[in-house]
Amino acid sequence: MPSDLAKKKAQPRKGHEENGDAVTEPQVANGRDTAEVDLLTKDTDVHIINLSLTFHGHHYGLIGLKGIENSMLLSAIGKREVPIPEHIDIYHLTRGMPPSDKTPLQCVMEVDNVECEKLVEFYKHLEELDADKAEMRASQILHRLGFTPAMQRKKLKDFSGGCRMRVALARALFIRPFMLLLDEPTNHLDLDACMWLEEELKTFKHILLLDFLNGVSTNIIHMHSKKLKYYMGNYDQYVKMWLDQMKRFHWEQDQIAHMKNYIARFGHGSAKLAWQVQSKEKMLQKMMVVSDKTLSFYFPPCGKKPPPVIMVQNVSFKYTKDGPCVYNNLEFGIDLDTQVALVGPNGGKEVNSSEAIGRYHQHLQEQLDLDLSTLEYMKCYPEIKEKEGMRKIIGPYGLAGKQQVNGQKCQVFLAWLAWQNPHMLFLDEPTNRLDIETIDALADAINEFEGGMMLVSHDFRLIQQVVQEICQTITKWPGDILAYKLHLKSKLVDEEPQLTKRTHNV
C-alpha cells in the first residue's frame, strides 16, 4: 500500500498510460515474444503466475513489500527457472567484479569466447555494439559512473567493493543484452551517476527488469501474496491508480451502507432495491484492492535545544597530507529545524560530531552478525534491559523472527537509532537495500521527527520528500532537488562533446 507521502506525490499524467489499469492476466503487446508460467520456482518463496514479458523496450519496475522477494524473482528469471526463449540472452547483475590485476577498462571490455558466440547468434545487427568504438564507449560509461582516466588504469584489486560493483554495472551497460536484470542498480552511486544512469536506461532498446527506478520504469510489476500484477506507467501513476481504485471502493461501500440503512428503517420497499444491494456486494467482493502491510517508522520526541545544536567553524579537510583540500574553512550551523541534503561526488560528505546524534551510515550493515536474531542483536546493548522493551523498539519496524535478510538489516539499525532518542539524525545512504514502500515509510518518519536531519543519499524521491535545503557539497544550492536534477541533466549534455573528445584521445 502506498505511503501517505507517495499518495500526495501522485499526479495525473497525460497520454496512453494515464489510467494505469491493472490486468489480471497480462496481455501481449504487438504479438512479440512472451514467457508465461504457472509454477513454484526453485526459490520456493516466490510463486510466479502468468509471467508475461514483452520485448519492446519496456522497462519493468518491481515493487513489493519485501525487497528480498524482488531479488528472488530476478534470480529465478536470471537462472531461467521460468521458460524464456533460448535466443533471448539474459544478463543479471548480482555482484561486483572480483579483485584482480585487470583494470576497470579491461573488465568492461572483456567478453569470453562463449559470450562472443552467443552475441553473434543473438544480435541481428552487430553494429549495436559499435565494435570499432568499443574502447571509447567503455571508457565513457566508466567516466559517467565516477571513474577518472587515472582510476580506469588502476588494478581492480585496489578498489573497494562498491567501486567493483560500479565496474560490473558498467560491464552490463556495455554488453547491451536483450534482457537486462538490475537489482538496486543505484547503490554505490552518487546523484550525478544516478542522473546519468537514469537517462542511459531510458534509451535502453530491449527489455529491462529492475528493482524500481521511477524515472526509468514504463511498467510496474507489483508482487502481492506471491503473485504478480502488471500496471502501465511508472510508480507515481501506479499510486494514482491505487488512490482512484480505493476512492471507488469506499464510495461503493457507502452506497451499500446507505441502502441497507434504508431497508432496515422502511422495509425492502421493492425487490429492485434489494437486488441492487446484493449486486453491489458481489461487485465489491470481486474488486481486488491491493492493501499491503506497510511499516510505520517512528522517531520519539527529542525535546528542545537552543540553536545552534552543532556549530562548524574554520574546518578544512584533506585525505592525505599533500593532497588537495576537499573542504576549506567551512562555517555553518545546524539546528533542530534543519533538514538538509548533501549532494555531490561520492566520498568526503561524512560529518562527525560529539553531540547527541543518531548516525546511520551505509557500512553499518557490514558489522551485523548474520547469525544473530533481531532480539539477540539488541541484547548487545546493555542499556536495553528488558525483552519487552526490545520488542517495543523493534515492533514498529516490522522486525520479528530469527532470520536476517538484507532489507531487515537496515530496519534493525533504524530501530536502534530510534531507541537512542537523538536530537539530530545523520543519515548516510539509508535507502540501500530498502524497497520503495519502506523508503516512503522512512520519509514519513523523518518528516514527523522533531529534531534536525542531515542526509546523504542518491535517492531523488527521498530527498524531494524530506529535505528543505540542498547543499552541493557545502555550498548551499539555491533551489530544490528537482532544480538540481535539471542542473545535472544540463551538465550531462554540456559535457558530452568534451567527454567524447577526451575518451577518443585515450
Indicate whether 323 pLDDT > 90. no
pTM of the model: 0.68
**Residue pLDDT, tens place only, 465-474:** 888 777 765 6
Distance CA 361, CA 409 (A): 12
Q: Compare 74 and 38 and report the one with higher pLDDT.
A: 74
CATH for 310-491 is 3.40.50.300
**Residue pLDDT, tens place only, 250-305:** 887 887 787 777 666 666 556 777 777 777 777 666 665 555 556 778 888 888 88
**Residue pLDDT, tens place only, 91-122:** 898 888 999 999 999 998 876 444 555 555 54
What is the CB-side half-sphere exposure of residue 376 using CA atoms within 13 A? 10
pLDDT of residue 17: 32
Hey, where are the domains in the chain? 89-177, 239-286, 310-491
Is residue 155 within 8 A of residue 101, CB to CB? The reply is yes
E-only strand ranges, 279-434: 310-317, 327-334, 339-343, 357-360, 424-428
Distance CA 104, CA 174 (A): 12
Percentage of the chain modeled with pLDDT above 90 = 8
Helix axis angle, 387-394 to 406-419, nearest 10°: 110
pLDDT of residue 84: 81
Confidence of residue 173 (pLDDT cuts 50, 70, 90): very high
360-194-343 Cα angle (round to 5): 50
pLDDT of residue 263: 67
Indicate whether 179 pLDDT > 50. yes
pLDDT of residue 400: 62
**Residue pLDDT, tens place only, 121-159:** 545 444 555 555 788 888 999 999 989 999 999 999 999
Confidence of residue 386 (pLDDT cuts 50, 70, 90): low
pLDDT of residue 147: 92
Alpha-carbon distance values, 403 to 33, 167, 202, 408, 412 (Å): 39, 31, 37, 9, 12
Phi, psi for residue 458 in degrees, rounded to 5: -95, 0
Residue spans of alpha helices (H) in 420-480: 436-448, 460-466
* Class of residue 239 by CB neighbours under 10 A (exposed 0-12, middle 13-18, buried 19+): buried
Closest CA to 231 of 30, 61, 47: 61
Is residue 402 within 8 A of residue 378, CB to CB? The reply is no
What is the CB-side half-sphere exposure of residue 323 using CA atoms within 13 A? 8
Residue whose C-alpha cell reads 544516478 in the numeric block: 194
pLDDT of residue 388: 61
Indicate whether 47 pLDDT > 70. no
Is residue 108 within 8 A of residue 147, CB to CB? The reply is no
